[in-house]
Structure 1
């Protein structure tokens, strides 16, 4: 993720006073370093950064995790090397409650949708979920369901000067901001099935 987006993610988490953050996707750890910096700056009694990346060893040769370790952030971070569709239900079963999450894992619609489904149960009511690559139609469509049906609201100034990216489905469209942050409703709710809004 570009440096300026990482800086804005860090600043957003600091302004939220985040103490526990779940991250889906590690790769080279640019966003993980920003999250770690935010947690150290907030300085809660027990900061916690849970990172999920089943490909960190096989595809990334542990580059991201080694970088976090060299920065001393492994003292507050834990890496789960399982797919998010398995790791997130496990965290939910363990009773993890997070203040925020950052999603930059698979970009397939069904996998993003499942990540968001479990994260809405892990992130506390009123907490936030930040998304990378919102320009991708698959990611944007998954997010739109939660906006339309579950009351998630965009935090408009979360990434004020974020990186612009061309929208894949429409080359004529204006560049879209790469990252997006959403606020979960407080209290959370389950809508009646009759009130489904097409997305």
Structure 2
């Protein structure tokens, strides 16, 4: 199991003032400039983890499934801009509801922050977009899965994302306390251990409640690193999950 050491601070969002302001005020803007409240955005803990992994591995191409208000996208793009001074990086996001449920709030702030030149967006279902990216032989160094939490949707995302990951690339699953997501995680751990290796995060200065929660197995995210190639052999036995 690989481990990444991060310095944890709930207030350390200075790398992206716009993101820090959105979280502090609990609101953002829609495509028409109207102020709207945020709900269900990636936690500060998740954003810290994503940023730390990017600083550690310096991927040039990243992908996220589920854009919503754009919190994770701002964290990813701001960090990529920090580590790639030549601006030779690309972040891709997939979300079928950006213009409807989310009123283009994410794409609006990304454009206002002048990060759109290194941003690609698909307003479609991930089950349709991911196979197309595979057919174009695209590869990504880091992928964040935070779209639909239905078991079948998470499983399909996982299946295609593994094929899109570079060797040693990182995939992050959000909301792993959810029963649907947790079931996919168990499948991976029991049946994909030759392809995906658990990647642990060690925090410095982490609060006691969070340390206890992690010790008991209550994880918000699960992280894996690609160490082998797909597909598995047809003789592979299915282990219970």
Larger CA deviation: 33-42 vs 23-32: 33-42
Taking structure 1 as reference, are residues 194 and 181 closer, same or farther at Cα in structure 2, changes over 3 Å only?
Answer: closer
User: What is the root-mean-square deviation in Å for CA atoms of aligned residues?
Assistant: 2.2
Aligned pairs (5 A) from 1:109-128: 109-128=151-170
Q: Distance in 1 between matches of 2:175 and 2:116?
A: 26
Task: Give the aligned partner of residue 34 of structure 1.
Answer: 75
Uncovered stretches (5+) of structure 1, i.e. residues with no partner: 168-173
Distance 1:97 1:26 in 2: 19
Query: What's the secondary structure of 1:176's corresponding residue?
Result: coil
Hey, what's the Cα distance between the residues in 1 that align with 2:85 and 2:156? 30
1:156 to 192, 200, 214: 200
TM-score, with structure 1 as normaliser: 0.87
TM-score, with normalisation over the residues of structure 2? 0.73
Instruction: Kindly tell me the number of residue pairs found equivalent between the two proteins.
Output: 191
**CA displacement 1:27-58 (0-9 Å, x = unmatched):** 01111111112211220752011100000001
1:197 aligns with 2:223: no
Whole-angstrom distance in 1 between the partners of 2:93 and 2:202: 22
Higher gyration radius (CA)? 2
- Residue in 2 aligned with 1:179? 221
Q: Deviations over 1:168-195 (max 9, x none)?
A: xxxxxx6722122111124555144342
How big is each residue's C-alpha offset from its partner over 1:112-171, in whole Å with a ceiling of 9 and x where there is no partner?
Answer: 00000000000112211011101101001112212221222221116775996xx9xxxx
Residues in 2 aligned to 1:49 and 1:8: alpha-carbon distance in whole angstroms? 17
